[in-house]
Each structure stands twice: as structure tokens, then as C-alpha cells.
């Protein structure tokens, strides 16, 4: 079994790895947070349907480099355990990190469950804006086609004008058209 260091914000956890599965030893995590290990173990045992169901005992390396049998949580469940810890009971020096972590967990969960909704709302809003812009472009294009057609007609009229026509207008090139 290999160990791996997992860094969460400013804290580093020595985690045993068993194949593709990474675990976090509860006791060193409690020591890092300054919370009572035995009360956390009770909490895990009192939660047999969720976190208590994934707890495993395994041999891992302690902070002193020796091998110990420790209670561990799979890394993916560790985050849920950490999020439910009462931040008022952790060491003062890690309290801000625990609170920041809890906020991050809430944001990740929100984005996971509500991100698609936010995306669809933004997409719908952008489609509305683009549709309004498209209508304006089409209107401007239609106006431009009208101006183009009128200008071509005026040019054609001037091109077909003879000197006699010019004399009939009182020597004026003033034509009645809108360009």
C-alpha cells in the first residue's frame, strides 16, 4: 500500500492508497483540525447509512513514520465529512480555512446541481439579445435594399437622360428620389 499527500487549501493529508482508491485517516485529520477524535468516531458510527457505511480500518503511516491501524474514509467521502464539522469547534488557526472550505463545497454543489439551469437561463437571455439584434440587422438590410434600389433607379434615370430632357427640367439635375 502506497501513501500519497493530498492538499486541501493549506492543509496536507497523508493518505493511504489502495489501488485506485485514496483514503484519509480520521485521527490525523482530527489532530490537524484540533477536534476530538473520539467524538468524530462516534459521529461516524452513529451514521451507519451514510459515512459510517464507507469507513474502513487500514494500516497507514502516522506522522512519526510508524505504521498504525487507522480508521479511514475514502477521499470522495472525506469532503462530506469535513463539510459537516462544526467550525466553531476547530482550532482557531484553521477555522477560517474550514469556513472557506465549507463555502467552496456549497458553491461546488450549487454549480453541479444548478449549473445547467444557470447555463440555460444565460443561453435563453443571449438568444433573446441576438434575436433583437437580428431583427435590427434585417430591418437595416431591408432599408439598405430599398436605398440601393432607389439609387440604382436614379442612376438609371440620369444615365438615360438626354440633353433635351435636361433642358425640359430647366437645366436641373434635381431628380425626385430618396437616396
* In the chain, % of residues over pLDDT 90: 33
Mean pLDDT of the chain: 87
Residue with cell 497507514: 60
CB-CB contact of 113 with 144 (8 Å): no
* In the chain, % of residues over pLDDT 70: 96
174 band by pLDDT with thresholds 50, 70 and 90: low
d(CA 70, CA 166): 106
- The per-residue pLDDT for 5 is 80
13 band by pLDDT with thresholds 50, 70 and 90: confident
What does the block give as the cell for 124? Answer: 435563453
Cα–chain center distance at 42: 36
| Angstrom distances, CA of residue 1 to CA of 8, 67, 76, 133 | 22, 11, 19, 61
CB-CB contact of 34 with 23 (8 Å): no
The arithmetic mean of pLDDT across residues 160-166, rounded, is 88
179 band by pLDDT with thresholds 50, 70 and 90: low
Closest CA to 159 of 173, 178, 138: 173
pLDDT digits (tens, 9 = 90+) for 40-98: 999 999 988 999 899 999 988 777 888 889 999 999 999 899 899 888 988 898 888 88
- The per-residue pLDDT for 56 is 92
154 band by pLDDT with thresholds 50, 70 and 90: confident
3 band by pLDDT with thresholds 50, 70 and 90: confident
- The per-residue pLDDT for 126 is 95
pLDDT digits (tens, 9 = 90+) for 107-126: 999 988 988 888 899 999 99
Amino acid at each position: 500500500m502506497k501513501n500519497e499527500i493530498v492538499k486541501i487549501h493549506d492543509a496536507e493529508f497523508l493518505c493511504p492508497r489502495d489501488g485506485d482508491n485514496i483514503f484519509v485517516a480520521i485521527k490525523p485529520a482530527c489532530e490537524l483540525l484540533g477536534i476530538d477524535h473520539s467524538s468524530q468516531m462516534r459521529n461516524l458510527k452513529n451514521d451507519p447509512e451514510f459515512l459510517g457505511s464507507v469507513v474502513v480500518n487500514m494500516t497507514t503511516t502516522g506522522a512519526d513514520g510508524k505504521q498504525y491501524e487507522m480508521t479511514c474514509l475514502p477521499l470522495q467521502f472525506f469532503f462530506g465529512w469535513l463539510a459537516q464539522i462544526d467550525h466553531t469547534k476547530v482550532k482557531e488557526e484553521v477555522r477560517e480555512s474550514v469556513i472557506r472550505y465549507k463555502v467552496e463545497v456549497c458553491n461546488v454543489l450549487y454549480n453541479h446541481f444548478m449549473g445547467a439551469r444557470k447555463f440555460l437561463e444565460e443561453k435563453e437571455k443571449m438568444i433573446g439579445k441576438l434575436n433583437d439584434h437580428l431583427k435590427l440587422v434585417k430591418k437595416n438590410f431591408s432599408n439598405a435594399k430599398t436605398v440601393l434600389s432607389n439609387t440604382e433607379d436614379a442612376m438609371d434615370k440620369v444615365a438615360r437622360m438626354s440633353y433635351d430632357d435636361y433642358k425640359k427640367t430647366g437645366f436641373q439635375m434635381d431628380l425626385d428620389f430618396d437616396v
